[in-house]
Amino acid sequence: MPNKTLPSTPPPPCMSLKAAIPYILFLSSIFYLNFISRIIFAPLLPTIEKDLGISHTESGSLFFFISIGYLAGLLFSGFVNERLTHKNVISLSGIGVGLILYSLAALTSFRTIAACLIILGFVAGLYLPSGIATITHLVSSENWGKAFSVHEWAPNLAFITAPILAEVFLKWMTWQHVFSVIGASILFVGLFYFKYGKGGQFYGQAPKLKILRSLFTNRSFWIMIFIFGIGMGGSLGIYTMLPLYLVSERGFSAGWVNTLVGLSRISGLFITLVSGWLTDKIGPKKAIKLIIVTSGLTTISLGLVRGPFILPVIFLQPLFATSFFPAGFAALSLITPHEIQNVTVSFTIPFSFLLGGGLIPTLIGFMGDMGSFGMGISFVGLITAGSVITLRFLRFHEDAIPL
């Protein structure tokens, strides 16, 4: 049973942004290793496939198993948050991912690897609700945008460094050893956070029927699911389909496309800081309006522009798309009371992921089969820009900000 001497709602934020930055960077390092442990399979996949003798279908299904576990981890994280403080859940997620990566390094059967990947995804999925709750506890709400912008360095950096690390490591070691190195890193950071991390010394809420009823009848919750889905679609959804589009319809070589896509993500490391500053300056709702309109327009252009003019658009589109998340997480943290924030995050992200990371790429692929990937991408851009209308109905909860 949890220690009832610790609160289920957090004490008032007690740190300035400057004082909190080292601890937010600490969280960001865990998030980075958490994220890269799931996407490192992409650059390692050709080597893994050849070594294990598995088919292309089996190779592709590895990401499906990770996704199943990750979504389950998010949905059930509230039951863990009810028993363990957010700080302990963050440490548990890091330590668990490290141990599972060590196990993966010793496995050679496709079935056992698939089962292990489901567990990996589940344990990794425990992190985000507790990480978000801890950040909103460390600093006051007027600094949430900046704090989330630092935290969002993690996935952007992971997208850039994963193929580089894989290429470097494979020159010196096997793919099993790569898992061991990443596993050792996140295991160490998880243990270190357990000892020295700050914030998150309070419990979350389990997704009980009363809480879910309140959440599912909250119009702003469904608006944020849609907006987050659109945000993920502009970032992850376009990212997954862009190489195929550029090679099949715009005549780019595969090698040149991989270089372009990788370089285009570097801007995300800097634009998130600008987005965080803008969010705190004008408020999350106005920031989201500005971001999704510009993201939508550049996505429309990405599908329509031809010839050499497409090169600047390839770099502009992710610049605006990745800037969504600091403002998005700040808004998401304000739609429900602070004490059920972990449940709000744990149910928003899975549904949003299905839309942005599942349906939107599928829609683009379908329109590609119908004759034009470009029209599919432009249609997604049109939906993105048009989604600004829903923000008129977004309302923040009066008890969302801890006093």
Which residue is it, tokens 């470009």? 374
Phi/psi for 154 (5° steps) reads -55, -60
pLDDT over threshold 90, residue 109: no
pLDDT over threshold 90, residue 342: no
Give the Cα separation of 213 and 398 in Å (integer).
Answer: 18
Identical fold for domains 17-142+154-196 and 213-393, yes or no, is yes
Dihedral class, residue 315 (left if φ above 0, else alpha if ψ from -120 to 50, else beta): alpha
What sign has the CA pseudo-torsion 313, 314, 318, 319?
negative
Give the Cα separation of 255 and 236 in Å (integer).
Answer: 20
> For the residues 169-194, what does the mean pLDDT come to?
90
Q: Are the C-beta atoms of 186 and 315 separated by less than 8 Å? A: no
CATH number of this structure's domain 17-142+154-196: 1.20.1250.20
The tens digit of pLDDT for each residue in 202-244 reads: 888 888 888 889 899 999 999 999 999 999 888 878 877 787 7
pLDDT band at 78 (very low <50, low <70, confident <90, very high): confident
The tens digit of pLDDT for each residue in 266-276 reads: 877 788 888 88
What residues does each domain of the chain span? 17-142+154-196, 213-393
Q: Are the C-beta atoms of 48 and 175 separated by less than 8 Å? A: yes
The pLDDT score that the predictor gives to residue 300 is: 95
CATH number of this structure's domain 213-393: 1.20.1250.20
CA–CA–CA angle 27, 32, 122 (5° rounding): 90
> For the residues 276-297, what does the mean pLDDT come to?
92
Count of Cβ atoms closer than 10 Å to residue 173 Cβ: 12
Give the Cα separation of 401 and 348 in Å (integer).
Answer: 19
Judge if pTM exceeds 0.85: no
Give residues with Cβ within 8 angstroms of 187, minimum separation 6. Answer: 94, 95, 97, 98, 99, 102
Q: Are the C-beta atoms of 182 and 37 separated by less than 8 Å? A: yes
Maximum Cα–Cα distance for the chain, whole Å?
65
Which residue is it, tokens 């959440």? 215
Q: Would you give the distance in Å from CA 221 to the centre of its chain?
A: 18
pLDDT over threshold 50, residue 1: no
The tens digit of pLDDT for each residue in 30-72 reads: 999 998 988 787 777 777 878 888 776 677 677 778 888 888 9
CA–CA–CA angle 199, 202, 206 (5° rounding): 130
195: exposed, middle or buried (Cβ count in 10 Å: 0-12, 13-18, 19+): exposed
The pLDDT score that the predictor gives to residue 403 is: 38
Give the Cα separation of 214 and 206 in Å (integer).
Answer: 13
Dihedral class, residue 91 (left if φ above 0, else alpha if ψ from -120 to 50, else beta): alpha
- The three state secondary structure string of the chain is CCCCCCCCCCCCCCCCHHHHHHHHHHHHHHHHHHHHHHHCHHHHHHHHHHHHCCCHHHHHHHHHHHHHHHHHHHHHHHHHHCCCCHHHHHHHHHHHHHHHHHHHCCCCCHHHHHHHHHHHHHHHHCHHHHHHHHHHHHCCHHHHHHHHHHHCHHHHHHHHHHHHHHHHHHCCCCHHHHHHHHHHHHHHHHHHHHHHCCCCCCCCCCCCHHHHHHHHCCHHHHHHHHHHHHHHHHHHHHHHHHHHHHHHCCCCCHHHHHHHHHHHCCCHHHHHHHHHHHHHHHCHHHHHHHHHHHHHHHHHHHHHCCHHHHHHHHHHHHHHHCCHHHHHHHHHCCCCCHHHHHHHHHHHHHHHHHHHHHHHHHHHHHHHHCCCHHHHHHHHHHHHHHHHHHHHHCCCCCCCCCC
pLDDT over threshold 80, residue 328: yes
pLDDT over threshold 70, residue 287: yes
